Amino acid sequence: MMLSSDSLQSYLDIATEAALAGGAILQAYAGKVEIHEKGRPGDLVTAADKAAEAAILKVIQRHFPDHAILAEESGQVGADQSEFLWAIDPLDGTTNYAHQYPFFACSIGLLIQGIPSVGVIFDPSRQDLFRAARGLGATCNRQPIQVSQTATLSQSLLVTGFAYDRRETPDNNYAEFCHFTHLTQGVRRGGAASMDLAYVACGKLDGFWERGLSPWDMAAGVVIVEEAGGKVTAYDQGPFLINSGRILATNGFIHAALSQELGRIQPLPKNCLPDLI
């Protein structure tokens, strides 16, 4: 499906309206929410998640009642056969938010025929608004952004995360974290994948990899990184698949080296970890 720039801009504007509405809810609830676990230890949900999602859905459904929606708290909503799928995380970084650690965001992406095509990430703590649509470039607070120029792993600053099932599986990213900590200037764990991607897009970070993610964690950030000049693939540099749970996103310059190193790393032996898995 070929869409005009005007159509993509319209989708981007509605996504922005929705993200700002969700962000306003998060600000209103900040510091006064009850926290619950969804079932798996560390996988939290708050009233703010649900209220922000409701506000976002209201905006999207008012403008695009025929579009499908995949939201973290509500699941799939709307027509299964729609060529348009909104992937929504009303509060990416719930654990951070619950602890009043200011690294979380509303993330809203639009997939068109399965391809991430529009993305908005709003960080209410800093009032940073990251936006992009295919062919329209990427911005932060309406100013153009681009990825860093860092050319080697040894000069790079990376970011990653750990999935909620890290206690249950040896495929838990611990070995990768240690490996790249030695090869680079540092590895950060932000706790909000959408913000990690936004920071790669604006050049604050040089690369990001993670496993165990959901489409709503990545859909918006993928567009923003690519429109800022970065590269997004599978770990092995194959095509990025939104349902794979894995992503490798970089400034492009360190992409091949980061991918090659990921392919070399073996999981830590079980006896190196607490007796949880």
**Residue 201: helix, strand or coil by DSSP?**
helix
Question: Mind listing the pLDDT tens digit of every residue in the chain (277 residues)?
Answer: 678 999 999 999 999 999 999 999 999 988 876 655 555 544 456 788 899 999 999 999 999 999 999 998 888 887 778 999 999 999 999 989 988 999 999 999 999 999 999 999 999 999 999 999 999 999 999 999 999 999 999 999 999 999 766 566 667 899 999 999 999 999 999 999 999 999 999 999 999 999 999 999 999 999 999 999 999 999 999 999 999 999 999 999 999 999 999 999 987 666 555 554 4
Contacts (Cβ under 8 Å, ≥6 apart) of 153? 180, 183, 184, 254, 257, 258, 261
Q: Is the dihedral of CA 233, 237, 243, 246 positive or negative?
A: negative
pTM over cut 0.85: yes
Residues 104 and 93: beta-carbon distance below 8 Å = yes
- Please identify, in words, the CATH class of the domain defined by 5-144: alpha beta
CA distances from 163 to 8, 86, 146, 204 (A): 32, 23, 28, 23
Domain ranges of the chain: 5-144, 153-272
- Please identify, in words, the CATH class of the domain defined by 153-272: alpha beta
Angle at 142 between CA 139 and CA 148, to 5 degrees: 30
